[in-house]
Amino acid sequence: MIATLLIQHEKLEQLPSGGTLSPYGVHQKHGQITSQALQLLSSQRRQFSNTYISVKLDETSGVAVMKLKRPPVNSLNMELLTEFAINLEKLEIDRGCRGVILTSAVPRIFSAGLDITEMCGKNADHYGEFWRAVQEMWLKLYGSSMVTIAAINGSSPAGGCLMALSCDYRIIANNKKYTIGLNETQLGIVAPFWFKDIITEVIGHRAAERSLQLGMLYSPTDALKIGLVDEVVAEDKVQSTASAVMAQWLTLPDHARQITKSMMRKPSLDRLVTHREADITNFVSYITRDSIQKSLQMYMEMLKKKGR
Amino acid sequence: MIATLLIQHEKLEQLPSGGTLSPYGVHQKHGQITSQALQLLSSQRRQFSNTYISVKLDETSGVAVMKLKRPPVNSLNMELLTEFAINLEKLEIDRGCRGVILTSAVPRIFSAGLDITEMCGKNADHYGEFWRAVQEMWLKLYGSSMVTIAAINGSSPAGGCLMALSCDYRIIANNKKYTIGLNETQLGIVAPFWFKDIITEVIGHRAAERSLQLGMLYSPTDALKIGLVDEVVAEDKVQSTASAVMAQWLTLPDHARQITKSMMRKPSLDRLVTHREADITNFVSYITRDSIQKSLQMYMEMLKKKGR
Amino acid sequence: MIATLLIQHEKLEQLPSGGTLSPYGVHQKHGQITSQALQLLSSQRRQFSNTYISVKLDETSGVAVMKLKRPPVNSLNMELLTEFAINLEKLEIDRGCRGVILTSAVPRIFSAGLDITEMCGKNADHYGEFWRAVQEMWLKLYGSSMVTIAAINGSSPAGGCLMALSCDYRIIANNKKYTIGLNETQLGIVAPFWFKDIITEVIGHRAAERSLQLGMLYSPTDALKIGLVDEVVAEDKVQSTASAVMAQWLTLPDHARQITKSMMRKPSLDRLVTHREADITNFVSYITRDSIQKSLQMYMEMLKKKGR
């Protein structure tokens, strides 16, 4: 099948784009029911804005720009996570959308990670639902069949870093003040096993172990060195670079690229799906401890005082 | 056992070469039956030429040079794959052979990968047999107990890249026109899971994912940067470098090196052996689709027109 | 939980240090029984010296320096291994100790690896007990909940390299005469599967395969290039650098760091625990072969002659 392809490069576009040697059971983007659902959605298609997420789809290029807009630091609360998952799902079933650029509408911050107020002073049911929403956001993003590019235009610690790591490609603004990393241990907490799996896939076991044990936050150039991001560009070039990289990725036939992506990511996705309830139970049992609640409340008090 | 070895380096040669701490069940090269088989083979030993493969064994060094010779692009058809597996097996059981240098007799191409004509206009049985031959080539090469070095003297896309990746060491000619990579997605197809496993082992998960999703073909220097090859040398030094590297690898005691190699490679080999029939079924069911056959026929027509 | 952490960095110290999102079942360092045991041990706490290991604990910093002192080459015999495991366990249950710097009291050598005399001219029971001691040393060191830093002030082949690889961080003296690596194949033997697992985790599959097949010993700078060590410093700065790096690691809250470490290392530890008896059986059956014993005896004779 690949015979003589090399000397015939200009013909490659005419090859079947839907072919695959091995159907790995990736979820198909364009089924018939999906197509009907699309009709219903199509009126909203160009732009949908929510409380904490804005989505703008360019129908010519098939690329959506999805912006987090929850000042001051895009912290991920239940509502933002839910809007994120719904909007991503909408794009997923939209025939007109082939790629998503994930970025921030808030200056100097991509996302500060999970919102502490969702984990403090609530009941166990709430914590469980919140953790399920965190998982859902990740399953949708890491498992997306679209091309996903993180245009990291600000700092991106903890859960913010996880979002970036879950995309297909990461571009960060060249600003020394911005940092990125899974810094959970610095806060006295532990990144869940699926955060660990993803960073291990991206930067390798050794770098991941050191990075996680120390809760390291990297400057853009240091992040590039260890492979935590793919590209560092001038701050005003982040969006245009993301668009250019996206255009390149979209030259690939969707179907083959999607199955290939799924083949690489399925093991990690499956691991969370399999252990999802245990992961929630774990989280709830931890977060409901008196000592933890007390500490979190003290931390929140400090943040409030600082905020005044 | 390793005590004081450091200060006694000049004595190391006299250590047992057949020893091992852990017998991992690698297939032994030199059994008694093997020895008899060898007697039968010995008349052919110095040089055996076939239609598409030539083999030249230097009995002094114990190194065989195996050349692919199927112009114009060494595309891998059933006959070449079969000859390859048979010849490799012959060398495997030959006490006089300890290493194989794999290279091309055709200028500017190592191998263009699988032959499209084997996957087009034939029946399901044929496709199944062809895929089995592709698997067999790989199981033999990746699982070889000999030292295997790829002397990549030309472009090496798709199946050609797989062959190179399956050797112990890769040397490529420093010629910008040559490219190497698993570019299947560019053709609208998907590399099978074992191609994915091997490239992940060689260049790591992140680089493999990007490489496979984009179907990237690398220049020699770029291939070196990501670890897809081990060395880039001047075009006229490829064979001599391969010989020099081989001599270095052959200073190691065979038995310990073989078991070590097997320990590293067994998991991936086992995965294909376990899923071999499913992998064939997958391939046949894909390749017999009307849409795929039509596309392949159109592609072949184009190649013919171009060839005129 | 991580919300707004970025803009509040100066508050991080006040966060709970005992918190964790996911209790992965790491063994807790400071239980009540442990606390009692500690009282008993506390008189010995400042310094305990044994035949082959010296330990000096600085109670102010909570850092112990553990020195191998078995001239001429710190080869690992049964007694050293046993002392090592006991002393590490003592520190493990000592509330006053949070980190261990592992180094050598012998000039120019970190450790030459396993002691050949333990594997020669003894009976099967002895070999089995010896191998169990080797495993135990590794399970304790790789599984330690303390911060472990290797201050590699000399050559470190084979088992010496394994000890270094099992620490959290590796600093080596910048001296070209020192080498480090798992060079077992050069001696005609095979590194056990858990040596292979650890080096694969540290330097990746491809580098590990090449390194193990060739039994490579690296200079400090080459070791740094492939990630076998983390830092190369002037010979007289090894200990001070180790102390400085340790201080940095100890800024992290113990509990979160420990669980994170356990999450990364548990799979490899579990693999040896599961296959421990088979690994011993394997070793004994290999080492008791007549051919191997003969070779080892010849090797020892040579060492003795050289020693005269």
- Give me the residue spans of the domains in chain A: 32-307
Tokens 């002895």 belong to residue: C126
C43 or C170, which is more confident: C170
Coil, strand or helix at B156? strand
pLDDT score of A32 more than 90: no
* pLDDT band at C46; cut points 50, 70, 90: low
Q: pLDDT for A61-93, tens place per residue?
A: 999 999 999 999 999 999 999 999 999 999 999
Residue C244 burial (CB count, 10 A): 11
Segments of A20-62 assigned E as strands: 47-49, 53-58
pLDDT at A98: 98
Mean local confidence (pLDDT), A144-157: 98
Instruction: Give me the amino acid identity at B285.
Output: S
Length of chain A: 308
Tokens 């060395």 belong to residue: B231
pLDDT at B46: 61
Distance CA B153, CA C4 (A): 55
* DSSP symbol at B219: -
Peptide bond before residue A72 is cis, with ω within 30 degrees of 0: yes
Q: Mark yes or no for CB contact C119/B255 under 8 Å.
A: no
* pLDDT band at C20; cut points 50, 70, 90: very low
Q: Does A198 touch chain B (CB under 8 A)?
A: no
For residue C301, indicate whether it is catalytic: no
pLDDT at B297: 84
The partner residue sitting opposite C112, judged by closest CB among B5, B11, B230, is B5
* pLDDT band at B45; cut points 50, 70, 90: low
Distance CA B75, CA B78 (A): 10
Distance CA C106, CA B188 (A): 61
Rg over alpha carbons for chain C, rounded to the nearest Å, is 20
Identify which of A1-15, B24-38, B93-107 has the greatest average pLDDT. Answer: B93-107
Q: What percent of chain C has pLDDT over 70?
A: 84
Q: What is the pTM for the complete model shown? A: 0.87
Tokens 């000399």 belong to residue: C154
Q: pLDDT for B152-164, tens place per residue?
A: 999 999 999 999 9
- What is chain B's mean pLDDT, rounded? 86
C-alpha angle with apex C224: C222 to C227, nearest 5 degrees? 115
pLDDT at B30: 41
* DSSP symbol at C63: E
Distance CA C172, CA C235 (A): 8
pLDDT at C30: 41
Residue A176 and residue A209 in contact, taking contact as beta carbons nearer than 8 Å: no
Nearest residue to C183 (alpha-carbon basis) of C144, C150, C212, C203: C212
C-alpha angle with apex A172: A168 to A175, nearest 5 degrees? 170
State which residue of chain A sits closest to B302, comparing Cα positions.
A11
pLDDT at C29: 47
Q: What percent of chain A has pLDDT over 70?
A: 84
- Among residues C68, C114, C162, C182, the one annotated as catalytic is C114
At the fourth CATH level, the homologous superfamily of domain B31-307 is: 2-enoyl-CoA Hydratase; Chain A, domain 1 (3.90.226.10)
- Among residues C184, C212, C215, C228, the one annotated as catalytic is C184
A8 or B132, which is more confident: B132
Query: Chain C window 201-220: which residues touch A at a Cβ cutoff of 8 Å?
Result: 201-204
Residue A178 and residue A215 in contact, taking contact as beta carbons nearer than 8 Å: no
Rg over alpha carbons for chain A, rounded to the nearest Å, is 20
Best mutation site among B4, B211, B229, B264 for testing chain C: the one with the most C CBs within 10 Å? Answer: B4
Two structure tokens written together for A215: 């809760």
* pLDDT band at A46; cut points 50, 70, 90: low
Q: Mark yes or no for CB contact A188/C7 under 8 Å.
A: no
For residue C1, give how far its alpha carbon lies from the nearest alpha carbon of chain A (Å): 4
Distance CA B217, CA B180 (A): 5
CA distances from C297 to A203, C8, C288, C290, C308 (A): 46, 65, 12, 10, 17
pLDDT at A307: 62
Q: What are phi and psi of B177, to 5 degrees?
A: -75, -15
Distance CA B182, CA B215 (A): 6
Distance CA B203, CA B161 (A): 13
For residue B25, indicate whether it is catalytic: no
pLDDT score of B24 more than 70: no
Q: What are phi and psi of A251, to 5 degrees?
A: -70, -20
pLDDT score of A2 more than 60: no
Q: Mark yes or no for CB contact C260/A302 under 8 Å.
A: no
Q: Does A185 touch chain C (CB under 8 A)?
A: yes
Contacts of B76 in chain A (CB under 8 A): 3
Q: pLDDT for C258-299, tens place per residue?
A: 999 999 999 999 999 999 999 999 999 988 988 878 877 887
ipTM over 0.90: no
- Among residues C96, C143, C159, C160, the one annotated as catalytic is C159
- What is chain A's mean pLDDT, rounded? 86
pLDDT at B158: 96
* pLDDT band at C307; cut points 50, 70, 90: low
Mean local confidence (pLDDT), C183-201: 94
A40 or C127, which is more confident: C127
Q: Mark yes or no for CB contact B18/C155 under 8 Å.
A: no
Peptide bond before residue C220 is cis, with ω within 30 degrees of 0: no
Q: Does A249 touch chain B (CB under 8 A)?
A: yes
Two structure tokens written together for C162: 């394994």
* pLDDT band at A31; cut points 50, 70, 90: very low
Residue A288 burial (CB count, 10 A): 15
C234: exposed, middle or buried (C-beta count within 10 Å: 0-12, 13-18, 19+)? exposed
For residue A99, indicate whether it is catalytic: no
β-pair type (C169-173, C231-233): parallel
CA distances from C82 to A252, B171, C91 (A): 59, 46, 14
pLDDT score of C31 more than 50: no
Contacts of A74 in chain C (CB under 8 A): none
pLDDT at C161: 98
For residue B87, indicate whether it is catalytic: no
Q: Is the domain A32-307 a CATH 3.40.190.170 member?
A: no
pLDDT at C305: 82
Q: What are phi and psi of C295, to 5 degrees?
A: -60, -45
* DSSP symbol at B27: P
Helices A290-307 & A254-287 angle (0-180, nearest 10): 110
- Ranking B16-20, C180-184, C216-220 by mean pLDDT, the lowest is B16-20
**Cβ pairs bridging A and C (under 8 Å):** 167
Peptide bond before residue A267 is cis, with ω within 30 degrees of 0: no
Residue C272 burial (CB count, 10 A): 19
Mean local confidence (pLDDT), B26-45: 44
* pLDDT band at C304; cut points 50, 70, 90: confident
Contacts of C248 in chain A (CB under 8 A): 214
A42 or C108, which is more confident: C108
A116 or C201, which is more confident: C201
